[in-house]
Amino acid sequence: MCISIGTMLMAGMQVLGGISAQKAAKEQAAEERDAAKAEAETTRKAGERQRKAATAAYGASGVVVNEGTAQDVQDEITEDYEKDAMMQVLTGERRARVAERKGKQALMGSLLGAGTAVAGGWKSATPMMTRDDRQGF
């Protein structure tokens, strides 16, 4: 009633495969987050350039830039690029969570597969009981 070495090796390889998949998924998740943060920073810089250009245009035309409509336009530009940047970060976070979830699923699948392999190996290594054998239990 022992499980074969091949069965144990197969189960171990399944577990290692799941661990490897989970590690790769965590790395992908970190990359997704980093990429989203970098994209958001680029959006913020571009938005800030746009806001400064609008401020300069108002100032060149003689408008007081920190009051009234000029200030409203600057505030709206800032609000728009900040919303865009936050959406980029949120999207990156969602992608990262999907990657992490896939990694967890791969690990769980490998654990279940390994358990199934071991159970199957145990079952095939265990002699079949006859009706007479079971009556003794």
Q: Give the pLDDT confidence of 79-127 residue by residue, as tens digits.
A: 999 999 999 999 999 999 999 999 999 999 999 988 888 887 666 655 5
**Mean pLDDT across the stretch 22-51?**
97
Q: How many CA atoms lie within 13 A of 17 on its CB side?
A: 14
Instruction: Identify the domain containing residue 57 by its residue range.
Output: 29-120
User: How do residues 45-77 score in pLDDT, each as one tens digit?
Assistant: 999 999 999 999 989 998 888 889 889 999 999
In a domain, 125, yes or no: no
In a domain, 21, yes or no: no
In a domain, 12, yes or no: no
In a domain, 6, yes or no: no
Distance CA 38, CA 41 (A): 5
| Contact between 100 and 25 (Cβ < 8 Å) | yes
Instruction: Please give the tally of structural domains in the chain.
Output: 1
In a domain, 129, yes or no: no
For position 134, what pLDDT does the model report? 52
For position 39, what pLDDT does the model report? 98
Q: Which residue has the tokens 């145990």?
A: 122
In a domain, 48, yes or no: yes
In a domain, 134, yes or no: no
For position 131, what pLDDT does the model report? 55
DSSP 65: T
